[in-house]
Structure 1
Amino acid sequence: MASQETLIHRFWRHVFEKSHRPAFLVKNRRPLGEPILIGGGPMHAPHVYVPKREPYVALTFEDAGVLVAEIVNFLRQCGFKRGDKAAILAWNKPEWVWTDLAIQTMGGVTVPIYPNSNGEAVDYILANSGATFLFGDSSEQLAKVSPDAPVKKFLLNEPIINLADYEAQAPSRKEYSILTRNLLLEIEQVVKGDHRNAILAGALASITRSDPATIIYTSGSTGRPKGVVLTHGNIASACETLSETAFQFNEEDVALSYLPLAHVYERVDGNALTLWNAIPSAYCSPEEVGDVLPVVKPTMLIGVPAVWRKMKDKIDKKLVAETGVKGKLVAWALKQDKPGFCRWLADQLVFKKVRAGMGGRLRIVMSGGAAISSDILNFFNLVGIKLLEGYGMTETSGGVIVNTPTANKVGTVGKVVSNVLIKVVPREADLDKPNTGVLWMKNKFEHGPIFSGYLGLPEENAKSFDAEGYFCSGDVVQIVDGDYVAIRGRAKRQFKTDQGKYVSPDDVEKAFDGESIVGFMVPIGDGLPFVSALVFVNQLTAKDHLKAKGITAPTGQDAAAFYASHPEIVKLIEQAKETANKKLQRWETVKKVTILPVEATVANGLLTPTLKIRAEEAMKRYKSEIEAMYKK
């Protein structure tokens, strides 16, 4: 299949050609073995020993093939056919991936939905996409769907319930059906290029790179989510190019997946890429990452800036807590940012232990999804974890501009990958800045990573593509040092003050990125005399700060209002503002802030499912607070 191979064909090739290679690390639901009686006699009671099993069970590609084949047969028995759409509403877990692979094996289209979506959002995506099947990881998830929705609903593990012990050991051949065995035999022939007897595997035999593989919905930070149709070719091209440029895998690699698989970043740059290269993955929730890292010891970890900042703050807090000689050693080590003996010594005495807490093997570490502060990048690089920044969109099948271990420039998102062409189109606001403008992109070859259009939105598609086929990213970029790309913000978010100065809210937010007391912020200033901001307090940082001073904060709904008005927290926010302003141009500096007495969450509509602030929604809700900042 050479250049026309798709991810689903490649997965099945791994099943038969790399059958004994680990493919998935599954959480062991039976971590304790059967009790064993040791010793004992007339005078002594026996000692009961309960052996501990490994926390994760390694399933091979052969095992995974059996599980996916079982789901394929379940789908067929339920009436699923080529071209049908099936949605998945679940947190990260191997069953999510197996269901996705089964849907694609049937020639269907997977529609991922963020697991923290509310019922209205779920109903919208199901109706807009035309999905007729829905798999959820709990009855609560399935209950989000309107009772009258024309959708068949199933629990995620329902198709493989007879193989439930896969969570403690590999599935036995005795457990799966004759139909599954026959399907596997057919698929093996299809993988070898023999399609003559493909009855059960007929859909797989006919899949090409032109066929749709998934519809991924944008987060909807500025309106209704849009359905991005990605083909098998889009995903395969992304995997091929990233494997050649950004990621150099080997047989010792292991990935940890925790970001929502409904997001293109985890779906393609994480999951698809590791499957493409036959790299095993473990799965956990974002809250479990800290505990799982030293257990799984991954070599690959991708994250968004909010995750990396949280990790940095946690490590910082632990290091700063050291006292006495250890405290002095840590303070000295954090200053050793130049190569040489002192840096090596700091690594041996301090930073090596930091890396051990994260498993000790991380080497492929990427940040994407939003701009990240150089402070965070420099911190991880200091402790010996080379965190690289990249850029991509749902519409580009994930990363298309990346820094690599051999070509990395902090402050940029790297260089454009080889199968994408770009052009930079200046606007009025960019005329005084060299090599700056809106980024447009197109595929260099057929079946590249960039999509062909949004689902059912012809007018939006007409606006998004120009006559040459270039797609408008909506991001303002600057080309620096020849071919590195630096992101300068979203074009539609930039505003002009009444002094005629253009301001990028992204730059302002980035300046505050190292200030842990600031959870989220919304810069204001369009047509106004100066820049101000709405600020949401990081409640964990606030709680720790007050606790250190002997002050107990309330919990629950009262916490946000307490923090917003507490003098200590107000002082911290003011200090954060002063520090951030030193990184900004004079006209960009934030003159006033309003600390809001609420927590920004997905549930109250102030955050997107990808945990980005809904700036327009915040400005609409807190219009009076904004007006108050500009009253003389």
Structure 2
Amino acid sequence: MLYSVPLPGTASASETPAHRFPTARAGLTACAPPDITTVYGAFQYRLARDPERLTMGRRPVLQAGDAATPTKPRLGAYEWLTYREINEITRELGAGLAKMVRQGKEPGRVVIYAPTSREWTLCMLACYAQGLQVVTAYDTLGADGVLHAMNETGAQIVFAHASQLPLLLRVAPRMASVHSVVYYADACGASPEARDAASRLARTHAVATVDDARRVGRAWPRDAHVAHGSDVALVMYTSGSTGAPRGAVVAHGGLLAVCGAIEQLVPAAVDRDADRVLSYLPLAHVLAFFVETYCLYAGLAIGYGTPRTLADTGEASGLGDLRALRPAVMLGVPLVWAGLRSAILRQVAQRPRVVQWVFHAAVEAKAWLAARGLPAGLLDRVVFRKTRAATGGRLKFAITGGAQISGALHKFVSAAVCPLLQGYGLTEASGLVAVQLPGDATRGNVGAPMPCVEIKLIDAPGSNYFARDGCGEICLRGPTVFRGYLGEENCLEGDGWLRTGDVGRWVEGGRLAVVDRLRNLVKLANGEFVALEALEAAYAAAARVALVCVVADARMRRPCAIVSLDQDCPADPVDPDRVLALLLDAARAAGLPPQHMLAAVCIDPEPWTPENGMLTAASKLRRAAISQRNESRLMNVFKEMERRGERLCDKD
């Protein structure tokens, strides 16, 4: 099967031909059928056809978690809204928000500073019902991050979860344009600290609950004021792995072009009437946002969860979100799949040795069968029945994105849980750029270009990648490509191409493989280039390892690494040499060359999370922060490498 076709006459000495999905050879997809070009228009399209269709389910809290012992809350069964009910809520809330926007200050922007939830999406739709623009801010952002988003965009309103109110109170004197705060609480209500913060914040700003804002909307009703496809939908801040985040200006039309492209690729793989999609990744990230937009358009039921409540609690009636929702589709980043693999392997390790052997042999057997398009139903029913049941038992496929995933982890999840499809996306391209199609069991690639973009690879001579070898920097063009960053409108080449900074390679069938990022390519002392993200994906497949931060520079003959272990594995008694041996086993299994084998490691005893600043909100490594926190450990590693001749001595 061909996954992309080159366009004749588009190649040059320094560029590969532009590739498109085969059905897009004559023209790129520019909207969702029939001619839907806005996010609210996508919602209205489904509302007009299925007003009583259920979606946007959430679970009531039956018993709150205990902050002292950090037990998980006990949640009830999913409760749903119809499209008709959503329309009523968003029209009222939208009118209320519009009433709060001061006239003459354009554009009207609302910062959503909240975790993924039903309320997040209701606020988004309410904004779009009145032509307001949404500014996204990860709920894990600290004071400086959310202030940057508010002040740079000139937003007038912040929509927040009650737990964010104490932080907003602290930064209130520095909020240059925000004059109103609208907040909501979960079924447990606002905490005493949140209520106190709301009261004190009300001395200087207009503060309202969602119910208050809806009452304003009922008192001052407004007709819908829907934007055009060319109008701005989002100012979406990148997660900021290096330096301050930048606000990507994304148009409605770009998001709906992605939806139209998905509509061409997946309908045969989903049942709109029965299948459910789990939403738990940050909606402030483009991956979750465009999937939610497509689900609203297509009528796929969205059920909300949280990373904390995905798995069962182990208590009576303590089903996790996965088993309570029983989704057909799930999104995740490699960190999620690595955690799932670790949990499965811990269970397998408690079984008799012969059962362990059968399990691992079955993983290999199923991968072999899948690569040849052969059925593996017997293995699913006998060997993987429990692992599939733990995720609800109905997963048809899952999609991984956000970072590279190792072949070993990809193979494991595809065998033990469900087919795992790798995708590649960018905020700057309104979401999805390329994805593996259902039924594609290959690994090490991100599949076909979406029908809404064309892709070419250009020379990156400083990193030794050349188009003549079918490799180079990935460049995109099409209706999904953004209009620029806030305050930086000229980000595209003269003919409309976006240079992504990612390195790609064309592989069998016209699939795209993402090799690394240009800024993460490092030349070693022997002249060999090291792709940091690719190495980290390979090494993260090692047993007992959660994340790996590879460290390399021009003084090293081989790289070293800082390692974060599985949280269920205590760090103090672990021998770094033993961890290094496990990592090297993973490297050999991945076929890494000798010069890419780690020379040494150090172990960070604390987990890496967005909350402690070691990861971005999108679960990407913050290399500088990790290296700084482990500076003394790295210095000891460097000294040992210099003693063995693996690293040149530092110059004075």
TM-score, structure 1 as length reference: 0.81
- Please list the CA deviations of residues 270-310 of structure 1 after superposition, one character each: whole Å capped at 9, or x if unmatched: 21111111111111111111211111111111111110111
In the alignment, structure 1 residue 275 sits paired with structure 2 residue 301 = no
In the alignment, structure 1 residue 232 sits paired with structure 2 residue 252 = yes
Deviation at 1:410?
A: 1.1
Distance in 2, Cα, partners of 1:288 & 1:542: 21
Aligned to 1:121: 145
Listed as ranges, the matches of 1:589-608 within 5 Å are 589-608=597-616
> Is the Cα–Cα contact under 8 Å of residues 26 and 59 in structure 1 kept in the other structure?
no
CA distance 1:537–1:529, shift in 2 (3 Å) = closer
Deviation at 1:11?
A: 0.8
Deviation at 1:266?
A: 0.6
- Counterpart of 2:303 in structure 1: which amino acid? A
Deviation at 1:332?
A: 5.0
Deviation at 1:630?
A: 4.2
Distance in 2, Cα, partners of 1:420 & 1:585: 34
Aligned to 2:134: 110
Deviation at 1:59?
A: 1.2
Deviation at 1:5?
A: 3.3
CA distance 1:246–1:491, shift in 2 (3 Å) = farther
Aligned to 1:257: 279
In the alignment, structure 1 residue 352 sits paired with structure 2 residue 382 = no
SS of the equivalent of 1:233 reads helix
Aligned to 1:579: 585
> Is the Cα–Cα contact under 8 Å of residues 74 and 159 in structure 1 kept in the other structure?
no
Aligned to 2:338: 309
Deviation at 1:342?
A: 10
Deviation at 1:601?
A: 3.3
Deviation at 1:142?
A: 5.3
Aligned to 1:551: none
> Is the Cα–Cα contact under 8 Å of residues 39 and 252 in structure 2 kept in the other structure?
yes
Aligned to 2:38: 6
Distance in 2, Cα, partners of 1:182 & 1:619: 54
> Is the Cα–Cα contact under 8 Å of residues 456 and 474 in structure 2 kept in the other structure?
yes
- Please list the CA deviations of residues 441-487 of structure 1 after superposition, one character each: whole Å capped at 9, or x if unmatched: 010xxxx21111111125xx4xx422221001100111111411111
Deviation at 1:19?
A: 0.9
**Of 6, 26, 29, the match for 2:58:** 26
CA distance 1:271–1:516, shift in 2 (3 Å) = farther
**Of 498, 502, 525, the match for 2:529:** 502
> Is the Cα–Cα contact under 8 Å of residues 536 and 599 in structure 1 kept in the other structure?
no
**Of 392, 396, 411, the match for 1:363:** 396
Distance in 1, Cα, partners of 2:142 & 2:299: 35
SS of the equivalent of 1:339 reads helix
Aligned to 2:7: none
Distance in 1, Cα, partners of 2:402 & 2:442: 18
In the alignment, structure 1 residue 223 sits paired with structure 2 residue 280 = no
CA distance 1:540–1:419, shift in 2 (3 Å) = same
> Is the Cα–Cα contact under 8 Å of residues 255 and 300 in structure 1 kept in the other structure?
yes
Listed as ranges, the matches of 1:138-537 within 5 Å are 138-141=162-165, 143-144=167-168, 146-148=171-173, 149=175, 150-157=177-184, 180=218, 200-201=222-223, 203-204=225-226, 207-246=227-266, 248-250=269-271, 251-268=273-290, 270-290=291-311, 291-323=320-352, 326-327=355-356, 329-330=358-359, 332-337=361-366, 338-339=368-369, 343-383=376-416, 385-428=418-461, 429-431=464-466, 434-443=469-478, 448-458=479-489, 461=490, 464-537=491-564
> Is the Cα–Cα contact under 8 Å of residues 459 and 467 in structure 2 kept in the other structure?
no
SS of the equivalent of 1:293 reads helix
> Is the Cα–Cα contact under 8 Å of residues 333 and 400 in structure 2 kept in the other structure?
yes
SS of the equivalent of 2:395 reads coil
> Is the Cα–Cα contact under 8 Å of residues 139 and 155 in structure 1 kept in the other structure?
no
- Counterpart of 2:472 in structure 1: which amino acid? G
- Counterpart of 2:601 in structure 1: which amino acid? V
Deviation at 1:374?
A: 1.2
- Please list the CA deviations of residues 160-197 of structure 1 after superposition, one character each: whole Å capped at 9, or x if unmatched: 99xxxxxxxxxxxxxx87964995xxxxxxxxxxxxxx
Distance in 1, Cα, partners of 2:219 & 2:467: 66
Deviation at 1:619?
A: 3.7
> Is the Cα–Cα contact under 8 Å of residues 91 and 115 in structure 1 kept in the other structure?
yes
- Please list the CA deviations of residues 481-506 of structure 1 after superposition, one character each: whole Å capped at 9, or x if unmatched: 14111111001110111211111112
- Counterpart of 1:135 in structure 2: which amino acid? F
Task: Provide structure 1 residue ranges, at least 5 long, that are not aligned to the other structure.
Answer: 33-51, 162-175, 184-199, 544-562
> Is the Cα–Cα contact under 8 Å of residues 521 and 533 in structure 1 kept in the other structure?
no
> Is the Cα–Cα contact under 8 Å of residues 495 and 504 in structure 1 kept in the other structure?
yes
Distance in 2, Cα, partners of 1:339 & 1:542: 33
Deviation at 1:586?
A: 1.9
Distance in 1, Cα, partners of 2:274 & 2:246: 38
CA distance 1:569–1:103, shift in 2 (3 Å) = farther
What is the RMSD of the two structures over their aligned residues, measured on CA atoms?
A: 3.0
CA distance 1:365–1:535, shift in 2 (3 Å) = same
CA distance 1:75–1:535, shift in 2 (3 Å) = same
SS of the equivalent of 1:143 reads helix
SS of the equivalent of 2:239 reads coil
Aligned to 2:17: none
Distance in 1, Cα, partners of 2:260 & 2:592: 39
Q: Moved runs in structure 1, 4+ residues, more than 6 A?
A: 158-161, 176-179
In terms of mean alpha carbon deviation, does 87-96 or 590-599 score higher? 590-599
Matched residue count: 553
Deviation at 1:432?
A: 9.8
Deviation at 1:24?
A: 1.6
> Is the Cα–Cα contact under 8 Å of residues 405 and 538 in structure 2 kept in the other structure?
no
Deviation at 1:392?
A: 0.5
Distance in 1, Cα, partners of 2:49 & 2:218: 19
> Is the Cα–Cα contact under 8 Å of residues 96 and 156 in structure 1 kept in the other structure?
no
Deviation at 1:407?
A: 4.1
Distance in 2, Cα, partners of 1:379 & 1:289: 19
CA distance 1:119–1:182, shift in 2 (3 Å) = closer
Deviation at 1:10?
A: 2.2
CA distance 1:603–1:329, shift in 2 (3 Å) = closer
SS of the equivalent of 2:340 reads helix
> Is the Cα–Cα contact under 8 Å of residues 88 and 96 in structure 1 kept in the other structure?
yes
CA distance 1:530–1:216, shift in 2 (3 Å) = same
Distance in 1, Cα, partners of 2:217 & 2:518: 54
Deviation at 1:404?
A: 0.4
The share of aligned pairs that are identical, in percent, is 24
CA distance 1:345–1:14, shift in 2 (3 Å) = closer
Structure with higher Rg: it is 1
- Counterpart of 1:508 in structure 2: which amino acid? L
Distance in 2, Cα, partners of 1:366 & 1:342: 21
> Is the Cα–Cα contact under 8 Å of residues 90 and 114 in structure 1 kept in the other structure?
yes
CA distance 1:536–1:152, shift in 2 (3 Å) = farther
Distance in 2, Cα, partners of 1:83 & 1:453: 17
TM-score, structure 2 as length reference: 0.79
Aligned to 1:71: 93
Distance in 2, Cα, partners of 1:375 & 1:112: 34
Distance in 2, Cα, partners of 1:118 & 1:364: 35
Distance in 2, Cα, partners of 1:327 & 1:439: 42
